[in-house]
Structure formats: C-alpha cells, structure tokens
Structure 1
C-alpha cells in the first residue's frame, strides 16, 4: 500500500513568474551541478600526477569510487528527500561532498584521497534532488524551463575546464583542484541556502533499511564488475563474483520491496510504463553520451602521423575546441525543451527527437571523421540531441509522478543512467579490443592502444543503433500520461487541503 501524504507550510509557488530570487536560486543550483560535471574532466587530467605522487597504479578508483557512492546512495537520498525535504537533502549532500573535496585536498595517503573522492560522490544525487525541488517550489509556468536549464546546463564549465586544470596543475599542483572543488561547493551551497526555499511536500513513510542495503550493495557489485571487468577479465573470478552477487542482491531487493509496507521505491509506480520506459531511455541517453565523450577525443587526439585515416594530434587542452559546440548546443537543446514544454508541447516527442539527433551524429561521425570542422559540427548535433533528451526526462517524470514521490522515483532513473552508461562503453570497447586493434609494434605506441579506422566506424554504428533504439522506446511512451495519485489517508485538518494544492501544482 502506498504511503500516506502530508504537506505542511504555505505554498511556495505563489509568484506568477520569474523574480530575482528565483533566478538566483536556479543559477545557484546550476553552478552546484557544474561542479559535478567539471569534476570528471579535471580529475581525469590530474590522474597521472596523483598516481605518480602516491606511487599507485590504481588511478581508476579516483573516478570509480565517486560513481559508486553516487549510485549507491541515490535511492536512499531520494526517499529521505521525499520524507524530510528536498532542500535539506540537497544541502546535506553538497555539504558532505565539500567535506570530501577538503579531505582529498589535504590527503596524506592514497586511501584517504579515495575516501574523500567517495564522499564527493554525494554530488550525483544532487542532480535529481535539484529538479525535484524546482518542481515543488517554482511557479508552475517556470518549472519546465528551470528544470531543463538545470539538467542541460551541466557541462558548460567543461569548456574552460582543460585550461583551468592546466593552470592549476602547472602553478599549484594537483591538490589545488580539490581546493577549488571544496571552495566552490561551499560558496554554491551557501547561495542555495539563502535563495532557495524548502519544499512543503512530504511523504509520510518509514525508511526501508533492508531495501537500502540490498539495493545499494547490488548496484555497487554490478558497477564494480562493469568498471573493472575490462582490466580483470570477464571470466575472472572476481568479476563474475561481483556481477553475480550484485545481480542477486538487486533481485532480493525487488522481492523484499513486495513485502515491505513502505519500500524504498514504490514498485507500483516503478512498474508503470511511463516510468520504466523513461528510466530505460534515460539510461540509453547517458550511455550514448558517455560513449561519444570517449570516442571523440580518441579520434581527435590520435596523431595524424600514425596513418590510420583519422586523428589530428591535438592536446587535451586543445580538445576544448571540440567540447565547446557540444556543451553549448546541449544548453540550447535544454532551453528549447523548457520553452516548448512551457507552451504545452509534450516532452515525449522531444525525447524521441533528441535520441534521433544523437543517432544521426553517431552515423555521421562514423562515416566522416577526417575533418575538424565536420567533427565539431557533428559534436554540436550530438549536443543538441543530448540537451533535448536529458531535459525531456525530468519533465516526463514530473508528468507521471506526484511531487511526494518525485525524488525517490527520480533516483531509480539516476541508477539506470549510471548502470546503462557503464554497460554500453564496455560492450563497444570489448568489440574494438577483440577485432579492431591497429597492428603497431609496442615500442611505436609506447603502451597506448590504437584502433583501426573501420573499428571506429563500427563503434559509432553501435552507438547509433543504441540511440535509435532509445528513440523507438521513447515513441512507445503513452501520448497522454495520467499521473499516479498518492492516497491521502490518515491526513487530518488543514493538511488535507494542502495536499490537494500539491497535486494541483
């Protein structure tokens, strides 16, 4: 049985449109999410220096630990946000992430650094916490645009990030990057604190501790297997143990959720076609984005003298010229979604259209990747599709799920984004490594792996197929979505009227 609903306090969405406070609130959340986006690129550039400093070969954990903690804690954070307030959880996650960045900055050992990076993973739930909060507190006619900007705005800082990272590393060392994160998170968290109200929407429920443990451990097991399978080997005992164990735990969570009175995620909501299809398409969208973000720099940074039919030999800093159109057009796509949804256009065709554009970008890159200008144009096309699709997803969830279940349901969509985004690149690079490695002697490549031109064609074709399938799935979404209703039993007095306001908003 679904949980009862309470709503306390005055309605916060009383304004008719944009105001300076709302603009500051949105800017604050976008800047906070930018810290998540830029974290990947900046730390990836610093891995070599960090590994050399601590004499470790486990540099991959700098990225994996953050992803693991973000995915594992997401469902619990979503449930707590629905119960106690989305602003509280957003600020709490940002505060823990700031502590993690500070710990990384002063780390005396690699183990301490990894602990700090793990805590920084609490930034990942901030994505769905932000747009869930916007849905509750922003005036109705501003929600679509605000949610779209918050979602698609992530990554704009990725344009100057390589230059900023290079400046930090050259002048102040790798620790300065984590000081930058710590200071930024504190400042942007404070901006949210002073500009953003708390949601009055509440879900009267209990914390499903068993469900949180089973689901969290299951996600962790699967992600560890997917992250380290290429290194350990897919037939390695550790890989199989993590994959099998994680899968068993996730199945156990599904079973337990059917018997618990207040499960971590309401399965009745999760089984609805608009919800599970949105989660699946969203996962494929992020998977295609991750694959494109891996393939494009490999194409551009490969030296032309290798004679592979592709490559311009540009540096990591020089690659910013390819990132710029993609990041800018992602933002443009998000604004388009916000404007159109605000005028009554359904997110469904925008999601399908976005995935179709991503598929087209993959096809074009696979066929014509020997020209800088064309690759930049194709990157912009992919960015437009990403902006449309990524911004359509939260708007679809707002249509399908009541505010009392927004954060917990969105957390499962975030899990899908993490898991599916880990699977597709693994499949693609398994094919590349098995059949399309360029036959160069080791002394010529200095340990680097190069792929044949035909290998890149196949890789981009696989990405195009995945995006095309996602577009078809998006078209299977219902043309008209009826939002699930949460029972208002055990609600007394004024709360009953206030709960009705929540549904109307």
Structure 2
C-alpha cells in the first residue's frame, strides 16, 4: 500500500481559516448526517402503518435491513474511499440510498420495501466518510470544531423529527416519508458535489474482494442472529445457523487478512491502544444511546391509566417534548467538544466525561421515571453525554489515523457502532420479554405489549451499563496520543505498525 497526495493538497491547510465556501461545505455535510439521524426516527414512527398495510409481523426488518447493509458495506466503502476519493464515495452512497428510498416509495410488496430499505442503508457509511472528508479538506485548526458541529447537528434534528413525521404520515400517508428521503438525498448529493472539494489524499492499493465477501457475510450472519434470536428462539436451529455461520466466516476473514499483503482492513492497527480502545468505546457509546432512544418512546407513550407506575399516554407528536432536551443537549455537547478540542483539551477527557454522563442519565432514568419534569432533566443529562461522546470519537479517530487511512480506519469504528447499537436493544428487550411482561388484558392496550415498571428499570440499566463500558474503554486510551504510520517499508514487514507523534 502506497499513500499518495497531490502537491497542491497534501493535507489540511495550516494557516487558513473559515470561508464562505467552507461554511457551505460544512452545512451540506451536516445535512447529510441530519438525514441519517432522522431516518431512524421517521421509520420507527411509521412502522405501525407500514406493517398494517403489508399485513406483516416482521416490521423490524425495516430497521434491521438498513443497519445490516450499512455495517456490511462500511469496510469496503472505507477502503474504496481511501483509494478513489472520499467525496466520490460519499456521493455514490447518497445516490444508492436515493434509489433505495425510491424503491420503497413505489414498493408493491413487503419484499421490495425491505430491498429498498437495505439499499438506503448506504447512508450509514456516510457518517465516517463525512468525518474523514472534513479531516482531508478543511484547514487543520478548523477540523475539531467542524467535526463537532457536524456531530451536534444530529441532535438538533431529533427535536423536529416527530413533528415532521406526524405531519407527513397524517396528511400524505407513510409513503410520503420515502418520497421525502428520495428528494432530499438527490438535493444533498448536488450540494456536496458543488460545495465540497475532493480529497487529494489517496492510497494506492488493491481491493481485497474475498475479504470483503467473508467479512460482509460474517457480519450479516451475526446481525441476523442477534436481531431475530428473540423471535426465533436463541436455541433454534435457524438462530444457531446464522450465528455460528457468521462467526465461522468472520474467522475465515481474520485468517485471510493475515496472509495477504493488502487486506480490506489493517487489523494490525488494533494492536495500538489508541485505535483499539477508541473503536471499542465508540461501540459502547452508540450502544448506550441506542437502548435509551429505543426504550424511552414506548415508556412515555404507555397510558398512565394502566396503573403500571410509569407512562404518560402521549402520542407520537406529544413525545416530541421528551426529545427536546435530549436533542438540544446533544447539540450543546458537540459544540463544547469542538471548542475545547480547539483549545487543547484532550478528546479522551471529553469522552470520559460523556461516558460518565451516560451512566448518570441512564441510572437516574431507571430509578425515577414517573415524573415528566424529572424525565426531561434526566434526558438532558443523557443528551449532554451523547453529544460529548459522539463528537469526541471522530476527533480521536482523526488524531490516531494518517490521512491515507482515515476512511478505512473510521469504517472499523462504524462497524463497531452498528454492531453494538443493534445488539444492546435486543439485550434490553430480551430481559423485558423474559421477566417483566405485565399481566394486563391485551384488549385494554389495543394488542400492544406492556411491561412492568421493573422492565424499564432493567432496560435503562442496560443503557447505563453500556455507558460504563464506554468509560472503561476510554480509560484505556493513552493520555499521550500517537498516530500509526500509513504503511510499512518492506524491511519492517511482519513487525508491529509504526506509531508516530500525532498532530494536535
């Protein structure tokens, strides 16, 4: 692997600062990440209508398919971005996601709907592509703030998303959501093409297609097993087949990656503590927020008249008030990271503080959730932790990886985030379904499953536990950071990756 850059753009410009074009570029990137964030919320709110229309009990596939393809594609997209350009791959991902959204908008069967959602999962790699592109084309002194603003914007959209979704579904039907995605993705592709320059950093390398197939199929098998294990049964043949089949394929990928000179992902970089513990912490942070955001709506929407000790009986639009403090403080946390990192505060320190707030917010929500005011306050605490964690992670990745391997290194983080974020809600619901089902007549709840208060206590403790894991992983990141070398000279073949002092 040979890293190359053009003379004109060998990396971020040291002396220049913000400009109108730079601000427009960041605005476009923020909108891309906003759409990724809103896609989860909007689809989750539309699930009941879509499931009723297609008469299916497999509504979870609309989220699983999206996450599955995103996780599977991330390593290959990262490697292609390092070779061919990050903006080019970002636009390709947006185009494929637009095609998928169009297919879902027109789908006459549930199978086509799932296929469209899977293609729309190409939005997932846009997360790490955006951060890596910022690292390459923005002046170095603006990078921490730009990354944090891009991350913080993902909290802002959660405030308006329930109102927008309710309006679209009520006035135009559930298909309007997919038309909204299609049109918005096309517009964003044009904005990125016009306003954001291409990275000049390249890595001359071959594509490990065998590794891509093994890794993709392995991740797919594990995710399918984890997603449908509670439905099929953890001891069912289909669950075990997907789980162990996926693990075998992942093992084959690990073996192949050690025998070829240019693997899909350089696993040797995981020997470096900054990379290994950053990737692990990223998964834990996203796992904590995934549980919290999944569990909170169902708890708040449960009618208080059932006498379960929780619930406020709000509808989808009424739930928006609970999103306001979470989204607002997520945005604040991201901006704080950008400002403090630019002034020399270590991203590791901010990640530690963010993880601690996730623990506190999750624990307090578990112990005191029967009062609206308190729940809004706990959500604000959790949201601040989310913002600090979300924004600190890409800053740590940018600091650890050389420009030539930014996208492929960040893709490891993306895979960790997708995998853990898909597993933690399953853990929470497995605990709730096995031990905390409320003995209430389904006719009183319209057929909806409800849980005892202890179920939600356990679920929010799962979120707090993921935050604790993030804290432990963040403690493993060295105080003095190093950046690994992009490639090794032939004489060093077989040795550990080279670490060099990191900028910033």
Deviations 1:407-450 (A, max 9, x none): 11111111111111122222222222222222223333333222
Answer yes or no: is the 8 Å Cα contact 1:6–1:204 preserved in 2: yes
Q: Distance in 2 between matches of 1:461 and 1:169?
A: 33
3-state SS, counterpart of residue 159 of structure 1: helix
Deviations 1:59-100 (A, max 9, x none): 222111111111100000000000110010001101111111
User: 1:316: Cα distance to partner?
Assistant: 1.3
Q: Partner of 1:83 in structure 2? A: 83
Q: Distance in 1 between matches of 2:437 and 2:53?
A: 32
Deviations 1:359-414 (A, max 9, x none): 00011111211111111111111110011011111111111111111111111111
Answer yes or no: is the 8 Å Cα contact 1:270–1:409 preserved in 2: no
Answer yes or no: is the 8 Å Cα contact 2:66–2:120 preserved in 1: yes
Q: Distance in 1 between matches of 2:364 and 2:296?
A: 12
Q: How many residues align?
A: 491
Answer yes or no: is the 8 Å Cα contact 1:221–1:245 preserved in 2: yes
1:251 to 1:183, Cα distance in 2 relative to 1, 3 A: same
User: 1:192: Cα distance to partner?
Assistant: 1.0
User: 1:107: Cα distance to partner?
Assistant: 2.0
1:240-255 equivalences under 5 Å are 240-255=240-255
CA RMSD in angstroms comes to 1.7
User: 1:504: Cα distance to partner?
Assistant: 6.8
Match for 2:6 among 5, 8, 11?
8
Q: Distance in 2 between matches of 1:448 and 1:101?
A: 29
3-state SS, counterpart of residue 5 of structure 1: strand
1:311 to 1:202, Cα distance in 2 relative to 1, 3 A: same
Q: Distance in 1 between matches of 2:221 and 2:428?
A: 21
3-state SS, counterpart of residue 3 of structure 2: strand
* Alignment partner of 1:25 is 2:25: yes
* Alignment partner of 1:42 is 2:42: yes
* Alignment partner of 1:315 is 2:315: yes
Deviations 1:298-339 (A, max 9, x none): 221111111111111111110000011101111110111111
User: 1:488: Cα distance to partner?
Assistant: 7.8
1:141-220 equivalences under 5 Å are 141-220=141-220
Answer yes or no: is the 8 Å Cα contact 2:100–2:118 preserved in 1: yes
User: 1:48: Cα distance to partner?
Assistant: 2.4
Mark the runs of 5 or more structure 1 residues left unpaired by the alignment.
491-502
Q: Distance in 2 between matches of 1:442 and 1:52?
A: 18
Q: Partner of 1:118 in structure 2? A: 118
3-state SS, counterpart of residue 482 of structure 2: coil
Q: Partner of 1:494 in structure 2? A: none
- TM-score between the two structures when normalised by the length of structure 1: 0.94
Answer yes or no: is the 8 Å Cα contact 2:289–2:463 preserved in 1: no
Answer yes or no: is the 8 Å Cα contact 1:4–1:488 preserved in 2: no
1:58 to 1:472, Cα distance in 2 relative to 1, 3 A: closer
Answer yes or no: is the 8 Å Cα contact 1:215–1:250 preserved in 2: yes
Mark the runs of 5 or more structure 2 residues left unpaired by the alignment.
491-501
Q: Distance in 2 between matches of 1:418 and 1:200?
A: 29
1:376-391 equivalences under 5 Å are 376-391=376-391
1:250 to 1:414, Cα distance in 2 relative to 1, 3 A: same
Q: Distance in 1 between matches of 2:55 and 2:312?
A: 32
User: 1:148: Cα distance to partner?
Assistant: 1.3
Q: Partner of 1:350 in structure 2? A: 350
Q: Partner of 2:226 in structure 1? A: 226
User: 1:171: Cα distance to partner?
Assistant: 2.0
Q: Partner of 1:364 in structure 2? A: 364
Answer yes or no: is the 8 Å Cα contact 2:25–2:196 preserved in 1: yes
Q: Distance in 2 between matches of 1:389 and 1:365?
A: 19
Q: Distance in 1 between matches of 2:242 and 2:393?
A: 30
Q: Partner of 2:131 in structure 1? A: 131
User: 1:135: Cα distance to partner?
Assistant: 0.3
1:270 to 1:322, Cα distance in 2 relative to 1, 3 A: same
User: 1:9: Cα distance to partner?
Assistant: 4.9
- TM-score between the two structures when normalised by the length of structure 2: 0.94
Q: Partner of 1:493 in structure 2? A: none
3-state SS, counterpart of residue 234 of structure 2: coil
User: 1:343: Cα distance to partner?
Assistant: 1.0
Answer yes or no: is the 8 Å Cα contact 1:5–1:489 preserved in 2: no
Answer yes or no: is the 8 Å Cα contact 1:4–1:489 preserved in 2: no
1:454 to 1:110, Cα distance in 2 relative to 1, 3 A: closer
Judge which range, 149-158 or 251-260, deviates more.
Answer: 149-158
User: 1:33: Cα distance to partner?
Assistant: 1.4
User: 1:489: Cα distance to partner?
Assistant: 6.2
Answer yes or no: is the 8 Å Cα contact 1:79–1:408 preserved in 2: yes
Q: Partner of 1:498 in structure 2? A: none
1:286-301 equivalences under 5 Å are 286-301=286-301
Answer yes or no: is the 8 Å Cα contact 2:399–2:503 preserved in 1: no
Q: Distance in 2 between matches of 1:137 and 1:328?
A: 28
